[in-house]
Amino acid sequence: MSKKELPFPANMFAKHKPGSAHRMFGVPKGEKLPRTFLQKIVDTPLMERAKNPTQIGFKSIKVTHLVKGRANGLLNAIRLRKHK
């Protein structure tokens, strides 16, 4: 399959190395990414800081286009996995 033929969310994660999302959000590799933190990042406007409502990961993170896109993609992948 070429890169254009991959379905979403597979095409979003095609270039990423394992653990890159955990490193970006400061979550240890053995733990799951907190959905509330990802949702808070998606709801925060660009170039502002999103505060983490959980104890897992960074206390706050600057919301850039890359961070927001990756958090949104992770949330969509989690939601798609539950419906299948």
Residue 17 lies in a domain: no
> Residue 5 pLDDT > 80, yes or no?
no
Whole-number percent of the chain with pLDDT over 70:
80
Specify the pTM: 0.79
Residue 49 lies in a domain: yes
Which domain does 63 fall in, by range?
Answer: 44-84
Residue 84: what residue type?
K
> Residue 69 pLDDT > 80, yes or no?
yes
Q: How far is CA 6 from CA 61, 66, 76, in A?
A: 30, 20, 16
CA 39 and chain centroid, separation:
9
Residue 12 lies in a domain: no
Q: What is the pLDDT of residues 49-60, one digit of tens each?
A: 999 999 999 999
Cα torsion 9, 12, 15, 21 to 10°: value is -90
Q: What is the pLDDT of residues 13-37, one digit of tens each?
A: 677 778 888 999 999 998 999 999 9
- CA dist 15 and 57 (Å) reads 23
Residue 70 lies in a domain: yes
